[in-house]
Amino acid sequence: MARTQTGPRRRADGSSKYGEWFAGLVGDPAFRDGDFCAMGLLWCAWRTGQLPVLGGARREWAWVPSWWRHWQDIGRWTAGAARGRIVFFDFDRSGAPEHVGAVLQDDRNGTIVTIEFNTMNGWCAVRGRRLSDVIGFGDPAWADARVPVAAGGDSCWQG
């Protein structure tokens, strides 16, 4: 699902469909134009019926350190990269993550391939990243069956 979202995602007014969805879900319009790296991943999980696997859509998940703490609290965090894991980045080496994405591939050479929302000035993009920028990974218990992507209204060039 996340791959169907690649491209520019932030609107001219600063909002995104992920922020609007999240704002409506948690009942707070402030999220409408907020940073949407976590909200984009949660939206994809919602669209595929997998939102509970990521801990639901709690308002505090929009603040990446809270979502990281959730994975630690439930004992589903790891230092190892693998496809489908949620990657938490600590670019400034503060000990708290500032950004989140999902792992597409572990290159096994100190780099990973990710898909990230709210990267490159408001895009959803596939990125190559260094493992040295990662604080850890959330390890979702994904359902075994693949969920088909819902058609219509979700192309990367629409709202």
- Kindly report, residue by residue over 28-43, the tens digit of the pLDDT: 999 999 999 999 999 9
Element (DSSP H or E) covering residue 65: helix 64-73
20 Cβ contact partners less than 8 Å away, ≥ 6 residues apart: 32
Q: 111 forms bridges with which residues in the sheet?
A: 130
Residue type, 141: A
Tell which residue, 15, 30, 35, 151, has the closest CA to residue 101: 35
Predicted TM-score (pTM) of this structure: 0.89
Mean pLDDT of the chain: 91
Check residue 143 and give its pLDDT.
Answer: 80
Residue 155, pLDDT score: 37
Rounded Cα gap, residues 104 and 114, in angstroms: 5
Task: Quick: pLDDT tens for 45-68.
Answer: 999 999 999 999 899 999 999 999
- Residues 5-25: what's their mean pLDDT? 96
Phi then psi dihedrals of residue 103, to 5 deg: -80, 130
What is residue 34's DSSP assignment? S
Quote the pLDDT of residue 57. Answer: 87
**Which tops the pLDDT comparison, 98 or 146?**
98
- Spatial contact of 2 and 103, defined as CB atoms under 8 Å apart: no
Q: pLDDT tens digits for 80-105? A: 999 999 999 999 999 999 999 999 99
Q: How confident is the model at residue 144 (pLDDT cuts 50, 70, 90)?
A: low
